[in-house]
Chain A
Amino acid sequence: MIGFLVRRLLQAVLVVVGVIAIMFVLIHLIPGGEARAVLGPKAQSVAIAQFNKENGLDLPLWDQFAHYLWNLSHFNLGRSYTANQDVTSLIAEALPKTLILVGLSTLLALVVAIPLGIYQVIRRNKIEDYVVTGMSFILYAMPAFLLGTLLILWFAVYLPIFSTEAPQTDSIVGILTDPRAMVLPVVTLAAISIASFSRYMRSSMMETMTEDFVRTARAKGAAPRRVLFVHALRNAIIPIITLLGLSLGTIVSGAVITESVFNYPGMGLLAVNSAFKEDLPTLLGVTFVVTLATIVGNLIADILYAVVDPRIRYARS
């Protein structure tokens, strides 16, 4: 187990180093350099030289990279071009909101998708199974921005049950106590995952039902219900952990869309708004933090999987 842990951790660290290198290269890819991006295309060359000097952009690349690493290790992601605020503090405001949105919708997705997958196995190859499969294919093909738009049109405009916008308050309590505004964003983001999670749950459960231990359980006379929920379910549900880890990137990308459809002030909206203002330090800072979060999420999922299922850590070593 220790060996697996160390190997997996090293792998994650290597990826993080790679991402840092990519971020650094991206900053230097801006046509005309960072100074042009900040000062505008008509800036005098004197002003550009001044800007480069002030920001250490006239130093050799290696020094700049060392500087960049030093700043990152101190949670210094630079200063926003437009908001007159440190990028770190902008992110500190937005991150909890995205965590709430992603957390709630992932929870909803699991709560809906797992029973749905089990139900499909119980009713397999019957009309109910096909209906659910058909619906999950439609959901799967539905991009988040379209689904969000349709939900607004149907449930906030035609039937004014929910609000067209997510909660705009800054306090976490405010967000959690405003379900009317929070329902549509959470449902939109959850819908993407429900389709894939339930498909996965269905096939994982089907596969488990063909295992020897299920046949043994049946042979010794366990009730079908018990075989399904005690023997099969416990084994079939484990791969969902990995699926969750792997889906993080998709979910986070979905959060960007959902946040911009519902104007929810999280990391995604921060990224989109800073993209409009060409505020690169903020955009890259948000991207870096989000990437870090998905890498850590993946790591946790992998370790958790190995903890729950001992076969994994032996197979991999």
Chain B
Amino acid sequence: MQDPDQLVRATEHQLGELIDEHVPERPAAVDRSDVLPDELTDDVIAAPGGGEVVSHGGLARRVLGVFAENKLAVVGVVVIVAAVLFCYVGPLLYHTNQTNANEALNTPGNAPPGNGHPLGTDASGFDILGRLMYGGQVSLLVGFAAAAVASVFGALYGAISGFFGTWVDSAMMRVVDAFLSIPVLFLAIVLAVIFRPSLVVFIFVIAFVSWLIPARLIRGQALSLRVREYVQAVHVMGGSKSRIVVRHIIPNSIGTIIVNTTFNIADAILLLAALGFIGLGVPAPQTDWGSMLSNGVNYAVDGYWWEIYPAGLCIVLVVVAFNFIGDALRDSLEVRLQQR
């Protein structure tokens, strides 16, 4: 007895080849609808095998196309690459002690910039430039990882909910509604207190408050995708439900997922910074940009600006950069996906 999924896979594969033969390669920005008649583009291009071929090759090219068209997005990428290099390569070139609090006591605390410390030192005597790199690793890592976890889980959850519809959908979405009605920061604080997070747990705490929006978005897409002919075709061919969700609904929502993930990274970095600012950030000796800012605020009255501006600037730059990229991707991916 042959596995129905295998059969579907074979059919999809043939379909994919068929479409590859008939649809020649073309530059990123060109919509395929100008070559094929409308009915065909909808049903064939977005069809099982073909849809995947298009979304792999086409998506990468489309994403690259975004950066060719949009200068702000390029600025965003440059800022983020610079931030990653600064945080991860920087410490290799600029050696500072960021973990040994006793040793740091030997350096004068709250020292203004100069004297071997380009950005001065903080209250404990840690070099601020080095600390920006050290704390930035945490901010970036948590931001990326939390957004990735949230997107994967949220997309699966939303796709399942939307695909099954009926009472399953209602029940699953009421859970999302209830969580969404709790103001984000409160939910994050409660989780931070209950789980007393280490760095890794922090990723999951932040992911836990960030998966709700992607779940809602993808559920909306799944609702419209599940009635499409190609999904029904897979169904008729005997493809399993999990296959439809994982191989068809999610790949066809990939534009929305990518755009949302970009914004989620920015939000995750901000949320971690907010928690750090309140004093519920990653446990010492680790730090993040928000915790650094929080320490600086204690000395705002003394006018120790070097403990405030650098960390603040890092947060704003990185967050704005991700928002630029997200905006550009949304303009191009989502609009085109809708028009297709």
Contact = CB atoms under 8 A, between A and B. Distances in A.
A290 B320 CA distance: 29
B297 interface: yes
Contact of A30 (B179, B194, B293): B194
A15 B177 contact: yes
A286 to B, nearest CB: 7
Nearest to A252: B183
Interface in A251-280: 252-253, 256-257, 260-261, 271-272, 275-276, 278, 280
B186 A145 contact: no
Contacts of B187: 287
Contacts of B178: 15, 17-19, 21-22
Given A31-B195, A295-B181, A283 B278 contact: no
Interface stretch (B17-25, B103-111, B269-277): B269-277
Given A14-B174, A256-B278, A276-B279, A271 B315 contact: no
B279 to A, nearest CB: 7
A164 B278 contact: no
Interface string A273-303: 0011010100110110011001100100000
A272 B277 CA distance: 11
Interface stretch (A120-128, A148-156, A170-178): A148-156
B184 interface: yes
A78 interface: no
A15 B185 CA distance: 18
A143 B308 contact: no
Nearest to A30: B194
A223 interface: no
Interface string A26-67: 100111000000000000000000000000000000000000
A280 B193 contact: yes
B280 to A, nearest CB: 6
Given A19-B182, A250-B184, A287-B183, 12 more contacts: A22-B178, A31-B195, A143-B274, A146-B316, A158-B303, A249-B183, A253-B186, A261-B297, A275-B189, A276-B279, A284-B190, A290-B186
Interface residues of A, number: 49
Contacts of B193: 275, 278, 280, 283
Contacts of A252: 183, 185-186
B60 interface: no
Q: Which one of B186, B191, B193, B316 has the highest number of Cβ atoms from chain A below 10 Å of its Cβ?
A: B186
A156 B297 CA distance: 13
B192 A275 contact: yes
Given A272-B189, A275-B193, A145 B277 contact: yes
B300 A149 contact: yes
Contact of B174 (A18, A144, A149, A153): A18
Nearest to B189: A275
Which residue, A26, A158, A278, has most C-beta atoms of chain B within 10 A? Answer: A26
A149 B312 CA distance: 9
A99 interface: no
Contact of A141 (B182, B192, B316): B316
A279 to B, nearest CB: 9
A272 B315 CA distance: 22
